[in-house]
Structure 1
Amino acid sequence: MGDETIYRTVQESQSERSEIVFPADSNALGNLFGGRLMQYIDLTGAMAASRHARAIVVTASMDHLDFVSPVRVGELLILKASVNRAFRSSMEVGVRVMVEDVREQRLRHVSSAYLTFVAVDRDGSKLVVPQITPETEHQKRRYEDAGRRREMRAGETLRKREMRAALGGEWHL
């Protein structure tokens, strides 16, 4: 058999989610809980990854999560996710979070994150995912940046593994 690699565009799997922030989602200052925002980011990212892989996906990591500004009760949250790059069974997804001021018709950036998802079958075994075909200059830049972040994550994973081995597998505080 020849090369059976499948390619998909970034646009084919983009996802968007909107939420209104309610008091039950906020802290004593009336700001959205960071953990709730992380949940929304994870769900929106998983939708994009699942669309791309056309399979079940599990979250492998969330890194470089920035909380740029608070989100207040009553504000409209807009989350947008795109697959930046696909590897063998994993995908890096970027999620950008904005607050929409409906009266002023303006968006305010409040958070961004990069997540890694792995495609799996119903038994939890990894699946090969389609590759990404970046089309715009912005998508091409994000594709290249995702490769650099993957190298950094691999280096960090190796460093932690070596540290655990040096400690005899034990964690010390």
Structure 2
Amino acid sequence: MSKSNTVSASKITLSELMLPSHSNFSGKIHGGYLLSLMDQIAFACASKYCGSYCVTASVDTVNFLNPVEIGELVTLKACVNYVGKSSMVVGIRVTSQNIQTGKIKHTNSSYFTMVAKNSEGENVQVPKLILSNLEEVRRFYESINRITAKKDYLHEEITLDYSSSDALEKLKNYNVILNLK
């Protein structure tokens, strides 16, 4: 009998007050610190879901939409959106709240691909994902689309002949000067 688990069983929420020690030179919270928190919650979420140690395999695009200020409460919410054989895509949403005004802003979202490992460091199979509502179905399909787009991009990158006259001609559409020797 194969194991299965629900999206709800993977859900994790982490909140942390942003301190001056977390700031960068411009007085905003350092993006690297937020990425560290995101990696922590992705690990916790994936490990909770599958019951195994997990490692980060990749991080999809992280766009910093709004700066986080010192003194704001940052909340990260994560859940498993997709499972493969040994991998899981963990969706993470980050918000910050001004404690004095109560104003909440979406600061960034990202998708971490996590891989389940055993004590010898070998990949292990993860439980099947039980999708319980259409929102979970949407997130699963969006993960499939991102995975497919990433594979297509890697294939195109490998097969593109950067030295061809066609590829060199296309560079005229960009903010570069071609000065090949």
* TM superposition score category, shorter chain reference: 0.7 to 0.9
Cα RMSD of the aligned pairs, angstroms, is 1.9
Which secondary structure state, in structure 2, belongs to the residue aligned with residue 65 of structure 1?
coil
Provide the rounded CA distance (Å) in 2 between the counterparts of 1:107 and 1:151. 33
Q: Could you list the per-position Cα deviations for residues 88-139 of structure 1 after superposition, in whole angstroms to 9, with x for gaps in the alignment?
A: 0000010000112334444211110011000001111000001211212211
Which one of the candidate residues 65, 69, 82 is aligned to 1:68? 65
State the aligned residue count.
162
Query: Structure 2 unaligned runs (5+)?
Result: 161-181
Corresponding residue number in structure 2 for 1:155: 152
2:51 counterpart of 1:54: yes
Equivalent in the alignment of 1:87: 84
Name the stretch that deviates more: 150-159 or 74-83.
Answer: 150-159
**Is 1:136 paired with 2:133?**
yes
Preserved CA contact (<8 Å) 2:71 2:99: no
Q: Deviations over 1:62-96 (max 9, x none)?
A: 01211110001111000000100111000001000
The answer to whether the 8 A contact 1:44-1:81 is kept is: yes
TM score, norm. by length of structure 1: 0.86
Structure 1 segment 1-173 matched on structure 2, within 5 A: 4-160=1-157
Residue range with higher mean Cα deviation, 100-109 or 134-143: 100-109
- Do 1:9 and 1:132's aligned partners in 2 also have CA atoms closer than 8 Å? yes
Work out which of the two has the higher radius of gyration on C-alpha atoms and give 1 or 2: 2
For residues 131 and 102 of structure 1, the distance between their equivalents in structure 2, rounded to whole angstroms, comes to 39
Query: What's the % identity of the aligned pairs?
Result: 31
**Structure in which a larger fraction of residues adopt strand:** 1
Unaligned 5+ residue runs, structure 1? 164-173
Distance 1:160 1:127, change over 3 A: farther
Aligned equivalents of 2:104, 2:63: Cα separation in 1: 17
